Amino acid sequence: MNEFRVCRVCGYEKGFHVYLREQEKGHKIGLICPSCGQSFDVGWIVADLDESAEKGTKFE
């Protein structure tokens, strides 16, 4: 099974950044390649987001 962690445009292989875009029924969550900047709409929508985000685990 192939993982969707490689950019289909530039071939960057270390995953993606995410973006949150406000829309009528919540927030759309999408992916952005940190190498070339290409964005990908994968169909994720979150109904409501809190006003502030809590600090979580730091991954290295």
All structural domains of the chain with their residue ranges: 1-47
What is the mean pLDDT, run by run of 10 residues, along the chain of 60 residues? Answer: 81 93 87 95 85 73
Question: Which CATH number is 1-47 given?
Answer: 2.20.25
Contact (CB, 8 A) for 27 and 44: no
Burial of 16 (0-12, 13-18, 19+ CB in 10 A): buried
With contact defined as beta carbons under 8 Å apart, do 12 and 35 qualify? yes
Per-residue confidence (pLDDT) for residue 26, from 0 to 100:
85
What is the reported pLDDT for 31? 94
Provide the pLDDT for residue 54. Answer: 74
Confidence (pLDDT) at 1: 38
The pLDDT, as a whole number, for residue 16 is: 95
What tokens were used for 53? Answer: 């985000």
The alpha carbon of residue 48 and the mean position of all alpha carbons in its chain are separated, in whole angstroms, by: 16
pLDDT number for residue 11: 94
Which two three-digit tokens encode residue 32? 């952005």
